[in-house]
Amino acid sequence: MQEEISLGELAVRFGLTLRGSPDSKVSHVATLSQATPGSVSFLANSRYRKGLKDTRASVVVVTAVEAEGCPVDALITPNPYLAYARIASLLHPEFHASPGIHPSAVIAKTAHIDSSAAVGPLAVIEEEVELGERVEVGPGCIVQRGAGVGADTRLVARVNLYAGVRIGQRCIVHAGAVIGADGFGFAPDRGTWVKVPQVGSVRIGDDVEIGANTTIDRGAIADTVVEQGAKLDNLIQIGHNVTIGAHTAIAGCSGISGSTTVGQRCMIGGMVGIAGHLTIADDVMVTGLSLISASIKEAGSYSSGMPAVPTRAWRRMVAHLRKFGKKER
């Protein structure tokens, strides 16, 4: 059974204004529509306001404006989603493996593994690997020769770190991620291709999260770099020698071609394609399905994907586009 915590303690711990009983207790989070007594819910988007009036949650995290229509106790803050994230982390803490090495793991003699680290079943730790304090290497992970993982970082399961990859502290790398595979480098030779050796590596900063089945290629000469605090969703492809700036967030199925630099605090939507050898400025937002084929030099929001419309309307739009620029007969 989950431990209960009082609303008064939540308010004090997270700097929230409580409207209601400080002695009321909660134990879990839930959506407005599925909440029951003991639940914490939140309202951060006005589109879900209709769920507020019928909620059975014990408390809802809301703004001061939304609190006026809240039928239950309220924790009031200018940023409900952020406060909810912190409360949810408290009520639903992550499981952490106990220190030690599973008997089925394969560990090279020259690997250095801190005594507080945990290495799970069927993991492989190769020569000269360094695992820092409280590192967790989950089932089936492979950490290849000379790679290093900083303190409190977690490789969830089946993560493959290639040789020489360096990961910072407090990172999370989700299942199936591959970091440090060869970049896509081939020199043409009279209709055939000659592989260009990829001799760089990958450097991941502190507090980075990398989603399931995301791939980050090693550099051709210099390293591929993901700076501190960046958040990468599932199924993202990062090409060789790309740099992702600090605190940038990239949504799923996006692809960034080689030698492109993405600035700090950018937000890249799902299925965005970014061509190679470009520079994206700091504080740029790119909406989903956009194609970026030229550098972006100024902060702001950029789009190129076209939202879906009924097929007949789409055909008329295409017909007009085909005529665009043609000389009148």
Residues 6+ apart with CB under 8 A from 33: 51, 54, 55
The Cα–Cα gap between 83 and 34 comes to 19
Which two tokens mark 244?
């992702």
Residues in the chain: 329
Nearest to 236 by CA among 205, 259, 213, 206: 213
Q: Give the active site residue among 28, 112, 240, 320.
A: 240
Quick check: 170 and 188 in contact, CB under 8 A?
no
The Cα–Cα gap between 52 and 172 comes to 34
The Cα–Cα gap between 178 and 237 comes to 10
Instruction: Judge whether 277 counts as a catalytic residue.
Output: no
The Cα–Cα gap between 250 and 208 comes to 12
Catalytic residue ranges:
240
